[in-house]
Chains A and B, each alone.
Chain A
Amino acid sequence: MELLDSFIFITIVKAAVVFAVLMTTLAYLQWVERKVIAHVQVRPGPYRVGPHGLLQPVADVIKLLTKEDLLPPYVNKPLYLLAPFLAMTMALISISVIPFGPMITVGPVKTWMQLTDLNIGVLFILAASSMGVYGIALAGWSSNNKYALIGGLRSSAQMISYELPMSLAIAAPLLISNTLSLRQLVESQKGGIFNWNILHGPFPQIVSFIVFMIAAFAETNRVPFDLPEAENELVAGFHTEYSSMKFASFFMAEYSNMITVSALATLLFLGGWMAPWSVEWGASLVPTVIFAVAGATALYHGANAARKRDKRTLPVFGVVFLGIAGIFLLPVVQFWLLPLFWFAAKTGGILFLFMWVRATLPRFRYDQLMGFTWKFLFPVAMLNLLVTSFLVAWFTK
Chain B
Amino acid sequence: MMNAVPISWFLTLSAILFALGVAGFLFRRNIITVFMSIELMLNAVNLSFVTFAYQHKEVSGHLFTFFVMVVAAAEAAVGLAIILTVFKGRSTLNIDDVNSMKN
Are A and B close enough to touch in the complex, i.e. CB under 8 Å?
Answer: no
List residues of A whose CB falls within 8 A of some B CB: none
B residues apposed to A, CB below 8 Å: none
